[in-house]
Chain A
Amino acid sequence: MRPFRRMGDRLDAELEGAEARLIVNLAAQLITLLRDRSGDADEAHSVDSEGLDVFARLEQRGPRSISVDPVLARLLPDAYRDDEQASAEFRRLTEPGLIDRKVAQLRTVVADLTSIETVTEEDAEDLPVDLDEAGAVAWLRAFTDLRLALASRLGIEPETPRGPEEPDEDTVGLLAVYDWLGLVQESLVAALQGEPLG
């Protein structure tokens, strides 16, 4: 991966094929989770079954109360911390739109990477990512949601900012993915604000 940099009004980076596929896979899983929440089953279970299904564990049984699913609870938090009724009403009015926008951002990333892969020569080592400002903002928000979802899956909390004390092998791998997404995002934030990479 070559991090994002600003080139005039464009933001560009290079991703390896495996990195791009990882992002697409994670984004597709999060889209499924969000779509399930909003009751739209169109895209449910569309995730490549061979991909690592990191969010599957969180699809819990029973009614889909926001409180039983840590990923959704973090992505769609209560607006009132001390007023359940006001939170429920706010959620009723705003959650469908919030989910739609989050899904649209993730789809932008998937579509960008898919189209890049299509036009890139097969033997090319790196995929050139080239975004305009609007695209970069969508990527930035989508990466935030992916990192929030992964963090929730990894048990990254204020008291445990690095996750579990004795992580198993899967967790170590996911932590690496989480950190890597953070690096990509850091470069994108800097590039968007026109700052040279330090």
Chain B
Amino acid sequence: MGLMPSSASTLLPAPGAPGATGAAPETAQQEATQLRELPDHPWALVVWDDPVNLMSYVSYVFRSYFGFEQAEAHRLMLLVHEEGRAVVATGSHEEMERHVEAMHDFGLWASLQKVGG
């Protein structure tokens, strides 16, 4: 499982954010579709912020499920909270589908998508 130590926030920049898509103004959907069509790129597990789940609980899920150290779990939780979403893991399609299902078991709001190069 390829975990993203520090570059998670730059992997999936918000549409329109600096460096997000280059010059052309594209919608998030167009962008995502293009990413998906690129072969041989890993998939990403994205956890989205929600106003319900306790920050302590999200940290706990990252620790107990992914085995992150407390500091890393806390950092990723804050990233989700402050950026609205964060890539929490990358890897094969099957792996990321398993993670998404596990996150939904925990009640976290998660999805998977292709990562750009």
Given A98-B101, A98-B104, A101-B105, answer yes or no on A185-B51 (Cβ-Cβ < 8 Å).
no
Shortest distance in angstroms between B9's beta carbon and chain A's nearest beta carbon? 18
Give CA–CA (A76, B109) in the complex, Å.
9
Tally A-B pairs: CB < 8 A.
79
Say whether A17 faces chain B, with CB atoms less than 8 Å apart: no
Q: Closest residue of chain B to A151, judged by CB?
A: B52
Q: Are A77 and B54 in contact (CB under 8 A)?
A: no
Say whether B3 faces chain A, with CB atoms less than 8 Å apart: no
User: How many chain-A residues does the 8 Å CB contact rule pick out?
Assistant: 34
Contact with A along B75-117 (1 / 0, CB 8 A): 0000000001000000000000100110011110111110000
Give CA–CA (A185, B110) in the complex, Å.
21
Shortest distance in angstroms between A3's beta carbon and chain B's nearest beta carbon? 13
Q: Are A77 and B111 in contact (CB under 8 A)?
A: yes
Contacts of A161 in B (CB 8 A): 51
Contact of B111 among A79, A144, A151, A193 (CB under 8 A): A79
Say whether B53 faces chain A, with CB atoms less than 8 Å apart: yes
Interface residues of B (CB under 8 A from A): 28-29, 32-33, 36, 49-54, 56-57, 60, 63, 84, 97, 100-101, 104-107, 109-113
